Amino acid sequence: MKRMLDIIVSFIGIWFLALITPFVALAITIDSKGPIFYRGVRVGKDGRLFKIFKFRTMIAGADRCGPKLTYRNDPRITHVGTVLRRLKIDELPQLINVFVGHMSLVGPRPEDPQYVSHYTAGQRAILSVKPGITGPAQIHYVDIESHMDPSKFNEQYIDEIIPEKFRFNILYIQNRSLALDLKILWRTFLSLFRCEITRVKNNHTNKKNNRSPSSQN
């Protein structure tokens, strides 16, 4: 049933992806030079490597001029990329990965081999299932950049974030079911909606606070 859900939803999603891709591609091309898609190597089920599809949100060659992870206000992220990331549009091409079987709609997020190499023997248990576009850890860290300290984010991710994500993911693996997947998909939508509402409110508050006394008279 889980694979059937993956195929049906990803098939429908790919049609939607085909409709918006020309517009997203145009925006990416105008904003910065480089390919439309980012294809990064990730570790999948049973440790098999695959290439994940995303819309490119960073300058071309970003992985060669900085770390694998991004952080808040990372200068490598383009203007269009900021919007795509905020709305999670950059993640939509992963529906292709789901359709061909590299990923599932719900599961632990796939990691770069660099970080999987730091997994303990126990943490490698999460490689027993297909990685997902979303999952319990993804909901918790919906805005992961805000949790990262730019001065030591690599160490912080390995020492703090990976163990915490493992805790969420292993609970999912032990209790996974179709009903749980549907619940996580719904909670993912709600968390993105709440984040966007919070961002709009914060921007509105900041604009009010930044008004000069003369502009208020």
User: Which candidate, 122, 144, 129, places its Cα nearest to that of 175?
Assistant: 129
Q: Is residue 83 part of a domain?
A: yes
Q: β-strand 37-43 against 132-134: which pairing, if any?
A: unpaired
Mean pLDDT value across residues 76-95: 93
The mean of the pLDDT values for the chain is 86
Distance, CA of 64 to chain centre: 20
Q: Is residue 203 part of a domain?
A: no
Domain range for 42? 2-198
Q: Is residue 123 part of a domain?
A: yes
Cα dist from 126 to 3, 69, 173, 178, 204, whole Å: 18, 20, 7, 18, 41
Mean pLDDT value across residues 74-86: 91
Which pLDDT score is estimated for 58? 94
Exposed/middle/buried for 59, CB within 10 Å: 0-12, 13-18, 19+?
middle
Residue 194 one-letter amino acid: R
Q: Is residue 167 part of a domain?
A: yes
Q: How far apart are CA 116 and CA 145, in angstroms?
A: 19
Digit-coded pLDDT (tens) for 124-147: 999 999 999 999 888 887 766 666
Neighbouring-strand partners of residue 55: 37
Q: Is residue 216 part of a domain?
A: no
Total number of domains constituting the chain = 1
Sequence-separated (6 or more) residues with CB below 8 Å from residue 89? 20, 24, 55, 83
pLDDT at 200 over 90: no
pLDDT at 175 over 90: yes
Evaluate if pTM is beyond 0.75: yes
Which pLDDT score is estimated for 217? 41
Q: How far apart are CA 162 and CA 212, in angstroms?
A: 44
Q: Is residue 161 part of a domain?
A: yes
- 55 and 90 in contact (C-beta within 8 Å)? yes
pLDDT band of 215, cuts 50, 70, 90: very low
Q: Is residue 176 part of a domain?
A: yes
